[in-house]
Structure 1
Amino acid sequence: MFETFAALLFAHVLADFVLQTRWMVARKRQFGVLLLHGVLVLLTAQLSLGHVTAWPLLALAAAHLIIDAVKTYGGFDGLTGFLCDQLAHLATLVLVGTLVPDLWASGFWAAQPMLPPLMVIIAGAVLATRAGGFATALLMRDHEVSDTPEDEGLPGGGATIGLLERGLIYLLVLIGETGGIGFLVAAKSILRFGTVSGDRKATEYVIIGTLFSFGWALIVAIAVQKLLIHLPPLEIIPKAT
C-alpha cells in the first residue's frame, strides 16, 4: 500500500505543482484546459506506477477532475479552498492505495525498491517549497498593506526568500539537524529587523508570513519522515523513530 501511495503522491505533485502552468491555472474554467490537466494527472500516475492501463488510475483522474471542477467553478480560490482541494486529492490517493495496494507491485518499476522513498522525498520537497509558496501567498493576500517591506524590495524577493527558507527547513528536518532551524529563525529576525523596526503593520506582516511558511515546511517534513518509516530505507536519510 505505502509504495503505491508514494508513487501516486509523486504523480499528484508533478501534475499539480510542476506540470500545471500559470497559463493552465488562469484558464482552468475552460473545460478543455481542465480536461488537459486531467490527462496530465492520468499520465503522471501511469508513469509513476509503471502501468499503461489500470482502471483505478482512470477513476483517480476522474476524481481529480471533479474535485478541481468544484474548486474552480465554485469560486473557492482562497487559502481554505486550496487546503480543502489538496486534502481531498490526498484522500483519493489514500483510498486508491488502500483499495488497490498492489498497483506498485504489479507495475513496471516494482523491481526498483528505492524508487518509492525517493519519490516521497522529491514530492515532499515540492510540497514544502512550491506548494508552500502558493499557500503562504494566499494567506498573506488577506493581510496585504501598502507599506509592507516587500513594496520596496526586489521583485519576487519575498517569494524567493520564502522558497529558500522552506527548502532549508525541509532539508534540516530530514537530515536530523533540527537545531539549525533555530539559527535560521534568528538569522531572518536579525536581517529583517532594520526593515520592519518601528512599523507595526510591517512587523506583523512579516511574522505572520514567516510563522506560516516555517510551520508549513515543518509539517511537510515531519509527514515525509513518518511515511518513510513504511518504505525501504534510503541510507542518506535517517529514519524517524
Structure 2
Amino acid sequence: MIETFAALLVAHVAADFLLQTGWMADNKRRALPLLSHAGVVLATAAIATGQPAHVALLVLVGLHALIDIAKARIPAARGALGFLLDQAAHLATLAGIAAWAPELWDTGLWAAAPPIVLQVATLAAALVLVTQGGRYFVATLMQDIELPVPALNAPDADANAEDAAADAKGLPRGGLVIGVLERAMIFILIAAGQPAAIGFLIAAKSVLRFGTVQENRAASEYVIIGTLASFGWAIAITLLCETLRSALPPLEILPPNP
C-alpha cells in the first residue's frame, strides 16, 4: 500500500504543481479547463503507477475533479486556508485509493524496479511541493494581510510576499527567488540529517533582510510572518516526506567487500 500511495503522491504533485497551467487553475468553473486538468491527473497517475488502465485511477480522477469544483465554487475555500484544505482533501483521496487498491504499484509496469526509483521520485516530488507549493501558500497567506505602508510595494501574488514587501527597490521577483531557495535549502538540510543548520539560515536572513525594515514595525511584522510561514511550510513538508520515505522499502545498498 505504501508504494502505491507514494506513486500516487508523485503523480499528484506533478499534475497540480508542474503541469497545471494558469488557465486550468483559474477556470475550473468551466468544463474544458476542468476536463483538461482531469486528463493530466489521469495521465500522471497512470504513468507513476505503471497502470495503463485501472478503475481505481478513474475513481481518483473523479474525486480530484469534485474537490476542485468545490474549491472553485465555495468562497471560503479560497486563500491560504482553502489551499491547505484542498491539499488535505487530495491527500486523503490518495490514501483512500491506496487502501482500496494497494496492488496498483505491485501489478504495475514499474513493480520490478529497484527501490531507489520510488525513493528518488518521492524526494523529487517533495522538493517540488516544498518549493512551489510553499510559494503558493505563502503568497495566498500574505495577500490576506494588509500592509499599511504606502512607501512599500504590494507583494507580487507569485512571489514570496515577505521578501517582496521588505524592500520596494529590490530586484524584480527577488522575493520569489529568495523564497524558493530558502525552502530548497531547508529541504536539503533536513534530508541530509543536518536540521540544526537551519538556525544559521534564519540568522543569515535576519541580518540581510530584517535590517531593511527595522524602523517600520508593520513592515517588520509582515516580513517575519511571511518568513515563519515559509520556513514552517518547508520544515513540515520535508519531515512528512522523510516519514514517508522511511516507510518505503530500503535501498538495500550492499556494504563493500572486505
**TM-score > 0.5, shorter chain as reference:** yes
Where does residue 189 of structure 2 map in the other structure?
Answer: 172
Aligned to 1:127, which of 126, 129, 132? 129
Contact 2:166–2:209 (CA under 8 A) maintained in structure 1: no
Inter-partner Cα distance in structure 2 for 1:177 and 1:233: 21
Consecutive aligned runs of 4 or more in structure 1 exceeding 4 Å deviation? none
Matches within 5 A, 1:53-202: 53-75=53-75, 76-112=77-113, 113-145=115-147, 146=150, 147=152, 148-202=165-219
Contact 2:183–2:234 (CA under 8 A) maintained in structure 1: yes
Where does residue 223 of structure 1 map in the other structure?
Answer: 240
Inter-partner Cα distance in structure 1 for 2:30 and 2:175: 32
Structure possessing the higher relative contact order (Cα contacts under 8 Å, 6 or more residues apart): 1
Inter-partner Cα distance in structure 1 for 2:234 and 2:124: 14
TM-score by length of 2: 0.88
Unmatched segments (≥5 aa) in structure 1:
237-241
Inter-partner Cα distance in structure 1 for 2:145 and 2:182: 21
Aligned residue type for 2:232: G
Asked whether 1:25 is paired with 2:25, we answer yes
Inter-partner Cα distance in structure 1 for 2:252 and 2:146: 44
Percent sequence identity is 49
Contact 1:129–1:217 (CA under 8 A) maintained in structure 2: yes
Aligned residue type for 1:210: T
Secondary structure of 1:163's counterpart equals helix
TM-score by length of 1: 0.94
Inter-CA distance 71–225: structure 2 relative to 1 (3 Å threshold): same
How far does the alpha carbon of each residue in 1:179-232 deviate from its partner, in whole angstroms, 9 at most, with x for none?
210110000000013311211011101100011100100001111111111112
Aligned residue type for 2:92: A
Report how many aligned residue pairs link the two structures.
236
Contact 1:17–1:131 (CA under 8 A) maintained in structure 2: yes
Secondary structure of 1:109's counterpart equals coil
Contact 2:167–2:212 (CA under 8 A) maintained in structure 1: no
Instruction: Report the CA distance between 1:142 and its aligned residue.
Output: 1.4
Where does residue 250 of structure 2 map in the other structure?
Answer: 233
Unmatched segments (≥5 aa) in structure 2:
153-164, 254-258
Inter-partner Cα distance in structure 2 for 1:227 and 1:25: 28
Asked whether 1:13 is paired with 2:7, we answer no
Instruction: Report the CA distance between 1:235 and its aligned residue.
Output: 8.1
Instruction: Report the CA distance between 1:29 and its aligned residue.
Output: 2.2
Instruction: Report the CA distance between 1:177 and its aligned residue.
Output: 1.0
Contact 1:50–1:108 (CA under 8 A) maintained in structure 2: yes
Secondary structure of 1:154's counterpart equals coil
